[in-house]
Amino acid sequence: MFAGRAFGHPGETAGEVVFNTSMCGYQEILTDPSYAGQIVVMTYPHIGNYGTNEKDEESQRPYAEGFVAREFSSISSNWRSSEELESYLKRHKIVAICGVDTRALVRHIRSLGAMRGVISSVDADPDRLMEKARSARSMLGCDLASWVTCKDPYAIAAPPRDPAEEKFRVIAYDYGIKRNILNNLLRIGCDLLVVPASTSAEEVLSLSPDGVFLSNGPGDPEPLGYAVANIRKLLGRVPVFGICLGHQLMGLAFGGKTYKLKFGHRGGNQPVKNLLTGKVEITAQNHGFAVDPDSLNSNEVACTHMNLNDQTLEGIRHRNLPAFSVQYHPEASPGPHDSHYLFDQFKRLMLKFRKYQCPSEPI
Amino acid sequence: MPKRTDLKKILIIGSGPIVIGQACEFDYSGTQACKALKSEGFKVVLVNSNPATIMTDPELADRTYIEPLTPESVSAIIARERPDALLPTVGGQTGLNVSVELAKSGVLDHYGVEMIGAKLRAVEIAEDRRLFKDAMTEIGLQSARSQIVKNMAEAKECLSAIGLPAIIRPSFTLGGFGGGTAFNTEEYEFIVSRGLDISPVHEVLVEQSLIGWKEFELEVMRDLADNVVIICPIENFDPMGVHTGDSITVAPAQTLSDKEYQQMRDAAIRIIRKVGVETGGSNIQFAVNPENGDLVVIEMNPRVSRSSALASKATGFPIAKIAAKLAVGLALDEIPNDITKKTPASFEPTIDYVVVKIPKWNFEKFKEADPTLGIQMKSVGEVMAIGRTFKEAFLKATRSLEKGKTLTSEKVFPKNLDHFLVTPMPERMAYLHYALCADWPLEEIHRRTKIDPWFLNQLKEIVDMGKRLQEHTRADLPPELLRECKRQGFSDQSIAELLRPAGGNGVSEIQVRQLRREAGIRPVYKRVDTCAAEFESHTPYLYSTYESECEANPTAAKKIMVLGSGPNRIGQGIEFDYCCCHAAFALKEAGYETIMVNCNPETVSTDYDTSDRLYFEPLTFEDVMEIVEVEKPDGVIVQFGGQTPLNLALRLQRAGVPIIGTAPESIDLAEDRKRFGRLLQDLKIPQPQNGTALCPEEAREVAAAIGYPVLVRPSYVLGGRAMSIVYDEASLDDYMRTAVEASPEHPVLIDRFLESAFEYDVDALCDGDQVVIAGVMEHIEEAGIHSGDSTCVLPPVMIDHVLLERMKQYARRLGRELKVVGLMNIQFAIQKETVFVLEVNPRASRTVPYVSKATGIPLAKIAARLMTGEKLRDLGFVEDLRVRHCFVKSPVFPFNKFPGVDTVLGPEMKSTGEVMGVADGFGIAFAKAQLSAGLRLPREGTVFVSVNDRDKPGLLPIAKDLQSLGFRLLATGGTQQFLERNGVQSERVFKAGEGRPNIIDLIKSRKIDLIINTPWGERSRHEGRAIRRAAIQHTIAGITTLSGAAAAANAIRTLRRENFTVQSLQEYHHAEESQRTWLYVKG
3-state secondary structure B583-606: HHHHHHHCCCEEEEEECCCCCCCC
Q: What is the pLDDT of residues B445-463, one digit of tens each?
A: 999 999 999 999 999 999 9
How distant, in Å, are the alpha carbons of B27, B61, B73, B628, B801 from that of B99? Answer: 17, 19, 12, 46, 45
- Cα–Cα distance for residue pair B1039/B837, rounded to 1 Å: 28
* pLDDT over 50 (residue B468): yes
Q: What is the pLDDT of residues B915-963, one digit of tens each?
A: 999 999 999 999 999 999 998 899 999 999 999 888 899 999 999 999 9
Choose the closest CB to A280 out of B227, B526, B549: B227
Residues from chain A that touch B342, judged by Cβ atoms under 8 A, are 309
Catalytic residue among A28, A65, A86, A331: A331
Distance from CA of B321 to the nearest CA of A (A): 20
List the one residue out of B700, B859, B621 whose CA is nearest residue B52: B859
- Cα–Cα distance for residue pair B321/B344, rounded to 1 Å: 14
The dihedrals phi and psi of B336, each to the nearest 5 degrees, come to -75, 155
Compute the half-sphere exposure of residue B391: CA atoms within 13 Å on the CB side of its CA: 27
- Cα–Cα distance for residue pair B179/B973, rounded to 1 Å: 37
**pLDDT for the residue numbered B720:** 66
* Single-letter amino acid, residue B907: P
Q: Round the average pLDDT of chain A to a whole number and report it.
A: 95
Q: What is the pLDDT of residues A9-33, one digit of tens each?
A: 999 999 999 999 999 999 999 999 9
List the one residue out of B391, B374, B395 whose CA is nearest residue B383: B395
8 A C-beta contact, residue A84 and residue A76: yes
List the one residue out of A313, A244, A238, A241 whose CA is nearest residue A275: A313
Q: Which residue of A has its CA nearest to B453?
A: A77
Q: What is the pLDDT of residues A45-92, one digit of tens each?
A: 999 999 999 999 999 999 999 999 999 999 999 999 999 999 999 999
- Cα–Cα distance for residue pair B698/B694, rounded to 1 Å: 7
For chain B, the distance separating the N- and C-terminal CA atoms, rounded to the nearest angstrom, is 48
Catalytic residue among A222, A244, A265, A287: A244
Rounded to the nearest 5 degrees, what angle is found at the Cα of A95, between the Cα atoms of A92 and A99? 130
List the one residue out of B379, B401, B541 whose CA is nearest residue B25: B379
Separate counts of helices (H) and strands (E) for chain B: 36, 42
**pLDDT for the residue numbered A313:** 98
* Beta strands B524-527 and B541-545, pairing class: antiparallel
Q: Where does the pLDDT of residue B716 fall: very low under 50, low under 70, confident under 90, or very high at 90 and above?
A: low
Distance from CA of A124 to the nearest CA of B (A): 18
- Cα–Cα distance for residue pair B757/A280, rounded to 1 Å: 67
Across the range B310-331, mean pLDDT stands at: 97
For residue B581, the surrounding DSSP H or E stretch is helix B574-589
How distant, in Å, are the alpha carbons of B1, B87, B226 from that of B326? Answer: 10, 11, 11
Residue A244 annotated among the catalytic residues of the structure: yes
Q: Where does the pLDDT of residue B1082 fall: very low under 50, low under 70, confident under 90, or very high at 90 and above?
A: very low
B534 with A101: Cβ contact below 8 A: no
Q: What is the ipTM metric for this complex?
A: 0.97
| Strand arrangement, sheet containing B748-752 | B690-693, B748-752, B710-714, B724-726
For chain A, the distance separating the N- and C-terminal CA atoms, rounded to the nearest angstrom, is 50
A25 with B353: Cβ contact below 8 A: no
Q: Which residue of A has its CA nearest to B224?
A: A279
A24 with B261: Cβ contact below 8 A: yes
Q: Where does the pLDDT of residue A361 fall: very low under 50, low under 70, confident under 90, or very high at 90 and above?
A: very low
B350 with A268: Cβ contact below 8 A: yes
B226 with A279: Cβ contact below 8 A: yes
For residue B127, the surrounding DSSP H or E stretch is helix B120-127
Q: What is the pTM of this model?
A: 0.95
Environment class of B316 (CB within 10 Å of its CB; exposed 0-12, middle 13-18, buried 19+):
buried
- Cα–Cα distance for residue pair B475/B498, rounded to 1 Å: 14
A77 with B535: Cβ contact below 8 A: no
How distant, in Å, are the alpha carbons of B395, B432, B436, B447, B484 from that of B439? Answer: 20, 11, 5, 15, 22
Within 10 Å of residue A231's Cβ, how many Cβ atoms?
25
A80 with B257: Cβ contact below 8 A: yes
Across the range B187-199, mean pLDDT stands at: 90
Q: Where does the pLDDT of residue B1035 fall: very low under 50, low under 70, confident under 90, or very high at 90 and above?
A: confident
Q: Tell me if residue B556 falls in helix, strand or coil.
A: coil
* pLDDT over 70 (residue B718): no
A21 with B229: Cβ contact below 8 A: no
Give the DSSP letter of residue B609: T
Residue A329 annotated among the catalytic residues of the structure: yes
What number of C-beta contacts closer than 8 Å exist between A and B? 162
Q: Where does the pLDDT of residue B719 fall: very low under 50, low under 70, confident under 90, or very high at 90 and above?
A: low
- Which of B480-484, B680-684, B1022-1026 shows the lowest mean pLDDT across its residues? B1022-1026
Across the range B470-485, mean pLDDT stands at: 95
* Beta strands A240-243 and A323-326, pairing class: parallel
A267 with B534: Cβ contact below 8 A: yes
Q: Round the average pLDDT of chain B to a whole number and report it.
A: 92
Give the DSSP letter of residue B69: -
Q: What is the pLDDT of residues B760-785, one digit of tens each?
A: 999 999 999 999 999 999 999 888 88
Q: Which of B256, B272, B352 to mutate to test the interface with A (most CBs of A within 10 A)?
A: B352
8 A C-beta contact, residue B293 and residue A80: yes
**pLDDT for the residue numbered B899:** 79
A200/B1077: higher pLDDT: A200
- Cα–Cα distance for residue pair B364/B344, rounded to 1 Å: 47
Q: Which residue of A has its CA nearest to B337?
A: A309
Residues from chain A that touch B261, judged by Cβ atoms under 8 A, are 24
The two most distant CA atoms of chain A are separated, in Å, by 66
8 A C-beta contact, residue A27 and residue A89: no
- Which of B42-51, B313-322, B1038-1047 shows the lowest mean pLDDT across its residues? B1038-1047
How distant, in Å, are the alpha carbons of A258, B170, B764 from that of B1030? Answer: 76, 18, 41
* Single-letter amino acid, residue B576: F
Environment class of B273 (CB within 10 Å of its CB; exposed 0-12, middle 13-18, buried 19+):
middle
DSSP string, B447-470: HHH---HHHHHHHHHHHHHHHHHH
- Cα–Cα distance for residue pair B581/B562, rounded to 1 Å: 9
8 A C-beta contact, residue A40 and residue A29: yes
* pLDDT over 80 (residue B738): no
**pLDDT for the residue numbered B176:** 62
Choose the closest CB to A278 out of B225, B389, B526: B225
How distant, in Å, are the alpha carbons of A278, A282, B3, B222 from that of A274? Answer: 5, 11, 21, 17
Across the range B240-244, mean pLDDT stands at: 94
How many whole angstroms from its chain centre is CA B749? 27
DSSP string, B1005-1022: TT--SEEEE----GGGHH
Within 10 Å of residue B154's Cβ, how many Cβ atoms?
17
- Cα–Cα distance for residue pair B215/B242, rounded to 1 Å: 10
* pLDDT over 50 (residue B1073): no
Residue A318 annotated among the catalytic residues of the structure: no
Choose the closest CB to B333 out of A2, A104, A273: A273
Q: Which residue of B has its CA nearest to A73?
A: B454
